[in-house]
Amino acid sequence: MLTTHPVARRRTEVIDDQGFHMRPAAQFVETAKRFDAEELVRCNGSEADGKSILGLMCLAAGAGMALDLEAQGPEAEEAVLALADLISARFHEAGVPKGA
């Protein structure tokens, strides 16, 4: 019998003025690896594994660009919520006012 896993999707936007560079990509991967799910990130027609720093960097997602997050697996919903929250919190950068 084939087991199907839930799929969750969320659209978010890169709000960091420097875009989705190396440090945020590393934080994204670290967060993605906490979940029992396969995560994909789509941006401007390209797609990357959410657990691959190199793949995420190849998206070249700049400030203001939309990111479509998709996860499939037992913790899919939790994964996309945590990843979207991380992006909207500007990767918890020091000195960035909340809500800015």
Q: What is the pairing mode between strands 38-43 and 46-49?
A: antiparallel
Residue in 9, 10, 21, 42 annotated catalytic? 21
Is position 92 annotated as part of the catalytic site?
A: no
Q: CA-to-CA distance for 57 and 62, rounded, in angstroms?
A: 10
Q: CA-to-CA distance for 64 and 19, rounded, in angstroms?
A: 8
Q: CA-to-CA distance for 66 and 88, rounded, in angstroms?
A: 12
Q: Which residues are catalytic?
A: 21
